[in-house]
Structures are given as C-alpha cells and as structure tokens.
Homo-oligomer: A and B are copies of this chain.
Amino acid sequence: MTLDRRTLIGSLATMGALSPFLALESAMAQVTADPAAKAADAHMKLMSVPGLVMHGNEQVVMLLYPGFTALDLVGPHYFFASMMGARVHLVSTGADLAPVPSDLGLAIQPTMTLAQAPRDPTVVFVPGGTTGTLDAAEDPALRRYLRDASARAQTVVSVCTGALVLGAAGLLRGRRATSHWVARDTLAHFGATPVDARVVTDGKIVTGAGVSAGLDLGVAMVAQLRGRPYAEAIMLQAEYHPEPPFPGGTPTTTPAPIAGPMRDMFAPFVDRALRLPVDP
C-alpha cells in the first residue's frame, strides 16, 4: 500500500477537489508552536539583511489642506509610516485640528497645525487636488513654511498637482519636475522643465505624476531613505505588484473620445494654474 496521505491529497488536488483543505494545511504550516518567537526571530533576520536600514528617526511632514486628494497622500503615507522609527506628522494648514476634507469628501484628522510643524523636517510632502490645491498655492503662510522648511529638509516631495504648490513657493525654478498629466505643462509657468515620468528626482526635489503615482513615489522614497531592501520589504507588505484590469491611465493609452473631453474638463484648472503667483 503505497498510497499514503500525501499522495492521496496530491492526486485529489490535481482534480481541484481539495484546494481548500490543502490551503488550510499550508496556512497552518506557517504557524509554529510559538508564533511570537517565530516573529521575533524573523525581525532579527530582517535586520541582518545587507543594506536594510531597519531603524531611523525621520520626521516626515505631510500637508493637509481643504480639497486635497486623499489618495495622493495616503499612498506615500503607507510607505513613510511603515518605516520603523519614522515620525509622520499630518499637518493642517487650518487654524485648528479639525479633520481636513478631501476633494472627494473623505476627511483626515491632522496631528498638528502648520504653526506647530517642525522647522527642520527630513521630508516635506504636498499632495495634489484641484480647486483646493490652487487655493493652497495662493496661501502665503503655506508658501512661507515650504520655503523655510525646504531650506533644511533633506527632500521636498509632491504628488500630482501638489507640484503647483511647490512651484508657487518658488521651489521648482530651474528644476526638472512632473505633475498630473493635465497640469504637467503648467510647471513651465513656475520656471521648471516638465518631464513625463512617474517620479522625477532633481536634487532635493522629488515630484510624482498624478494621484496613483504616489505609490511608485513611496517605494522610491523608502529606497532613498532606508535602502532598496527595506523598500522591497514594504512593497511585499503592500503586495505592490499592480495589475490594472485593462490598459489605460495615460492620455495616449485611453480611447480618444474619453481622453479628449477629460483633458478639456480641466481647462478651468489649467487657466487658473497659469495665473498663480510664483515666489522669488
């Protein structure tokens, strides 16, 4: 009798009949007698991976203003906040700690106001949006904070149209930068050279393309701050191997009857962006 349990399970599995049971066996194999000890041992093993900087003390300032796009911010936040030891501050441009509403009605609770924000952050991050972003770019207190903090920050970061706020603060002059495809060419208004890329690094300025580019930028930022192995660990934790169900996401890969009107819908945004102030 050679048909032991494993052989039986194997032959039934090829029939697709036992997959839930095999999966359960696989899940249970992950757990030893002492799961906590296994986890602690794993932590030590990760710490010994060459090039992986497990602990740090970065101060990351992520700005919240009314009408920001939540996904612009929450993508990078996942990566920043997953770095052990990093402190991520959600900084409201408002006068108090009231939740700040996004353009799509999702409000996030700030952890401090602009007046309380660190003057020497490791990273300053500005999300994008539409009307709210243009209002933010016209806010002298925000632009003053950005100019001041960026003088000492290691990296100044934007996703999407957040680049326009950096531009209005005079931080993109002479830089290569990117933004949401709708607004990319307006970066020239701020003295920047627009680049069609997912993430653009020029000195201490790191800019991302529209909305979802914040995830690619998040990975790139962790690699910059903690080394590529740490970024690979967080990518795995985020299960970041994207597979959009069908092509699209750029003006050239979207059917023209959709891409054309989508661009035109933002004409009022572009019109106003081109009239934003630009600090010296």
Contacts and interface: CB of A to CB of B under 8 A. Distances in A.
B235 A248 contact: yes
A222 B129 CA distance: 21
A239 B210 contact: yes
Interface string A78-99: 1001100000101000000001
Contacts of A231: 246, 248
A143 interface: no
Interface residues of A, number: 108
B71 A261 contact: no
A223 B246 CA distance: 10
A244 B108 CA distance: 26
Given A42-B265, A99-B109, A109-B107, A249 B223 contact: no
Interface in A176-221: 180-181, 184-189, 191-194, 198-199, 209-213, 215-216, 219-220
At the interface, is chain A mostly helix, strand, loop or mixed? helix
A20 B267 contact: no
Nearest to A194: B23
A105 interface: yes
Contact of A81 (B105, B186, B270): B105
A280 interface: no
B249 A238 contact: yes
Given A74-B106, A242-B242, A236 B258 contact: yes
Given A78-B71, A212-B215, A264-B38, A235 B239 contact: no
Nearest to A190: B20
Interface string A44-66: 01100100100000000000000
Contacts of A266: 30, 39
Given A31-B267, A42-B261, A78-B71, A244 B241 contact: yes
A75 interface: yes
B199 A31 contact: no
Contacts of A219: 244-246
14 contacts: A19-B194, A22-B188, A23-B187, A42-B263, A42-B267, A70-B77, A71-B75, A81-B106, A212-B242, A215-B242, A216-B243, A232-B258, A239-B249, A239-B250
Given A24-B274, A233-B258, A238-B249, 18 more contacts: A19-B188, A21-B188, A24-B188, A27-B270, A39-B265, A42-B264, A45-B257, A46-B258, A49-B257, A70-B74, A71-B238, A99-B109, A213-B239, A223-B246, A233-B262, A235-B249, A235-B254, A236-B259
